[in-house]
Amino acid sequence: MGFRKMMASLGAGGASVETELHQADVTPGGVIHGEVRIEGGSVDQRIQGVTVGLQARVEVETRNAQGEDTEYHQNIEFHTQQVGGEFVIQPRAVHTLQFALEVPWETPVTMFMGRQLTGMKIGVTTELQIARAVDKGDLDPVNVHPLPAQDALLEAFGRLGFRFHSADLEKGRVHGTRQRLPFYQEIEFKVPEQYRGLKEVELTFVADGNEMDVVLEMDKKGAFTGGDTHRSFVMNMQSFEHTDWADYLHQWLAEVGAKRNWF
């Protein structure tokens, strides 16, 4: 990935900062390796610290004074790491810092089968701390690929005829899960004919490295059938390969649907 540049906050004569990611592809629980390169301007400049972090574009739902639901998007930095302490950068000097940024297990996936999931925007930010100022760089996008257990579930939905529709990140919590981040991902599928009582299904992963909460939000067709229905189960991240997940999901959906006369 090429360098991206930002100018320091001290204006003319200030230092410039460039960040390079050695590899933009990663999985939750992995590590992003890169380099921050600070080049001095025309004057001495004291740098108090350098931080890299992960940032996501998140949808926020709120209610206005008239009681109407509204939505807007917010950039949330959900993991940061200090990569350099205080130093003075002299004119035209170059100061290079290597970093290894850990990726939280809950980090949303942005890729599936080599394609970008529509609606996902996650990347690495670089922050330069200068006396009485903070300067943030551009977002360097990263490609977050599914873990093997997540891949198995996504492929199972495909085998059952579900079609990917969209994905988004929502600020808030999914109750009853091991969630630690201030937002969660929803991957929305259109439903095949055999599950005719459903309009769409939204999938949420919440992993911690050993296990993963899988939450399904099922949106029923028609105006008379009530609201959305949430159901969840837990996957073991080490033994998931022993299960036929397409068969598991089919039986699970059929059992839930039969109780409610969806199908």
CATH number reported for the structural domain that contains residue 11 in this entry = 2.60.40.3880
> Is-contact 102 81, C-beta < 8 A?
yes
What gap in Å lies between CA 62 and CA 72, rounded to an integer? Answer: 8
Contacts of 46 (CB under 8 A, 6+ apart): 86, 87, 88, 130, 131
Interhelix angle 148-159/245-259, nearest 10 degrees: 60
Residues 92 and 172 reside in one and the same domain: no
Q: What pairing do the DSSP bridges indicate for beta strands 163-171 and 183-190? A: antiparallel
Residues 239, 209 share a domain: yes
Dump pLDDT digits (tens) for 166-197.
999 999 999 999 999 999 999 999 999 888 77
Asked whether residue 119 falls in the same domain as residue 189, the answer is no
159 shares a domain with 83: no
Question: Which H/E stretch holds residue 39?
Answer: strand 31-39
CB atoms within 10 A of CB 99: 22
Task: Count Cβ atoms below 10 Å from residue 63 Cβ, excluding itself.
Answer: 9
Parent domain of 68: 4-144
Question: Tens of pLDDT along 85-98?
Answer: 899 999 999 999 99
Asked if residue 168 and residue 126 are part of one domain, the reply reads: no
Are 47 and 120 in a shared domain?
A: yes
> C-alpha distances in angstroms, 207 versus 28, 118, 148, 153, 233?
9, 22, 12, 13, 12
Within this chain, do residues 161 and 56 fall inside the same structural domain, yes or no? no
Contacts of 79 (CB under 8 A, 6+ apart): 53, 54, 101, 102, 103, 104, 107
Tell which residue, 55, 48, 50, has the closest CA to residue 98: 50
132 and 234 together in one domain:
no
User: Does 101 lie in the same domain as 13?
Assistant: yes
128 within 8 A of 18, measured Cβ to Cβ: no
Domain count, the chain: 2
What is the spatial distance between Cα 151 and Cα 145, in angstroms, rounded to a whole number? 9
- Domain boundary among the residues 85, 120, 144 is at 144
Q: Does one domain contain both 247 and 226?
A: yes
Whole-prediction pTM value? 0.86
Calculate the CA dihedral of residues 49, 50, 52, 58 and round it to 10 degrees: 70
| Alpha carbons 63 and 46: distance in angstroms, whole number | 44
List the chain pLDDT tens, one digit each, 263 residues.
443 334 444 444 678 888 999 999 999 999 999 999 999 888 888 899 999 999 999 999 887 777 778 899 999 999 999 998 899 999 999 999 999 999 999 999 999 988 899 889 999 999 988 765 566 667 899 999 999 999 999 999 999 999 999 999 999 999 999 999 999 999 999 999 888 778 889 999 999 999 999 999 987 765 444 556 788 999 999 999 999 999 999 988 887 777 666 65
Same domain, 90 and 129: yes
Q: Report whether 221 contacts 195 (CB < 8 A).
A: no
Q: Do 99 and 218 belong to one domain?
A: no
